Structure 1
Amino acid sequence: MEKAMKRDNINVNDRQLGCARINSPEDQNYLKGMAAAANYAWVNRSSMTFLCRQAFAKMFDSTPDDLDMFMIYDVSLNIAKVEEHFVDGKQKTLLVHRKGSTRAFPPHHPLIPVDYQLTGQPVLIGGTMGTCSYLLTGTQQGMEETYGTTCHGAGRALSRAKSRRNLDYTEVLSALEEKGISIRVASPKLVMEEAPESYKKCHLAGISRKAIKLRPIAVIKG
């Protein structure tokens, strides 16, 4: 991206905001790579869902349908989408790149499924290993202020590097154990990066409307 920015005289305040013009070869290659990564993620989540359903069916000698194991919603994160938005009172076609966030359209938006036209787009907000998660819905206010965008998680209060430096994995495991939370992980030291202390309080994020509070009993990450 840096070569493309220099060639096209694009200046940004931070190198992490590196970009290229949409019709440039660099950007078109980026969008193709992004689409491939998104397809991989869809298949990965679908595979985990299938294996989960099969495991529950075997354990309870039933079928996933009889156990009401239906997927409520699935959505891509950290992805760019071509959308229509109002900018300075005028409707424009934009490529909205959501990094560390996800789409949250309000009720009656034409791009959300019929089942959610009255409620707004579902938003899945994962908590931390020690807090609850939430199911939210998009709002008109969010559409106007953030182009229909909200966070897709609690948000990091500490970087992964700071978490490893400042936290002791034995203390993190002990604190989680006191809450009745156990972890199976290849390396216990990895839990420091995902410790509850490393994340913000997700209910302080705003923008979206809380619909359902979820207390996870099992989480599969892969």
Structure 2
Amino acid sequence: MHMVRKVFSGMFDIQYEEMNLVYDVAHNVAKLEEHVVDGRQMKLCVHRKGATRAFGPGCADLPGEYAPWGQPVIIPGSMGTSSYLLHGTKEAMVKTFGSTCHGSGRIMSRTKAKKALSGREVRESLAAEGIIIRAPHDGAIADEAPEVYKPSDEVVRIVDSAGISRMVARFVPLGVIKG
């Protein structure tokens, strides 16, 4: 996080020490948690790989400020697609041990993307959509191109309709920083 703040400090008129973290999401984690299994409360080690917590409103493990609404859930889009803020649900506690996806998922490996796509063309395509990208070189861009991911709009529609996370806000990309 420190390096991100330093980069932003160089781009905007603010000192990096003045920038605060709003929310942090782990998407590869194992935690000891209490869940109901076959009608019995049990202590489980829940491993989330490519997933994140989606605890529902009132869950004892939530900090007080999140308790009324449920766990904040961030589902990022690609460099060219929307990202979303959602919240966890009581239904997620029953269906998925309080879990939901973190991201839309790849449909193309990094290696295949680097061979199939041109970083320069991805940069130009994003620019045509009004999205600015900053990267050390064009070779660092292709493996994260919008077309290598499932559509985030569809993924969010599915988790919302399944009841495991509820959509709060949709964000469209204006700029991308790729390290």
- TM-score, reference length from structure 1: 0.68
**Corresponding position of 2:108:** 158
Q: Over residues 160-180 of structure 1, what are the superposed CA-to-partner deviations in whole Å (9 max), with x where a residue is unaligned? A: 122223323333222111012
Matched, 1:184 2:140: no
Change in CA separation of 1:96 and 1:115 when aligned onto 2, cut-off 3 Å? same
Number of residue-to-residue matches in the alignment: 171
**Corresponding position of 2:6:** 51
Change in CA separation of 1:78 and 1:217 when aligned onto 2, cut-off 3 Å? same
**Corresponding position of 2:43:** 93
| Secondary structure, counterpart of 1:94 in structure 2 | strand
**Corresponding position of 2:69:** 119
- Partner Cα separation in structure 2 for residue 177 and residue 121 of structure 1: 34
- Partner Cα separation in structure 1 for residue 79 and residue 147 of structure 2: 10
- Partner Cα separation in structure 2 for residue 201 and residue 215 of structure 1: 13
Q: Percent identity?
A: 45
Q: How far 1:197 sits from its partner (Å)?
A: 0.3
CA RMSD between the two structures: 2.4
**Corresponding position of 2:166:** 209
* Higher RCO structure (Cα 8 Å, ≥6 apart): 2
Q: Over residues 36-70 of structure 1, what are the superposed CA-to-partner deviations in whole Å (9 max), with x where a residue is unaligned? A: xxxxxxxxx2x1464367557x7269x94xxxx65
- The letter for the 2-side match of 1:121 is Q
- Partner Cα separation in structure 2 for residue 90 and residue 200 of structure 1: 37
- Partner Cα separation in structure 2 for residue 177 and residue 53 of structure 1: 20
Where is the strand percentage greater, Structure 1 or Structure 2?
2
Whether the aligned pair in 1 keeps the contact of 2:54 and 2:88 (CA below 8 Å) is yes
| Secondary structure, counterpart of 1:164 in structure 2 | helix
| Secondary structure, counterpart of 1:212 in structure 2 | strand
| Secondary structure, counterpart of 2:46 in structure 1 | strand
Structure 1 residue ranges, 4+ long, deviating more than 6 angstroms after superposition:
none
| Secondary structure, counterpart of 1:204 in structure 2 | helix
Where is the helix percentage greater, Structure 1 or Structure 2?
1
- Residue of structure 2 aligned with 1:108, choices 58, 61, 66: 58
**Corresponding position of 2:24:** 74
**Corresponding position of 2:81:** 131
Matched, 1:200 2:155: no
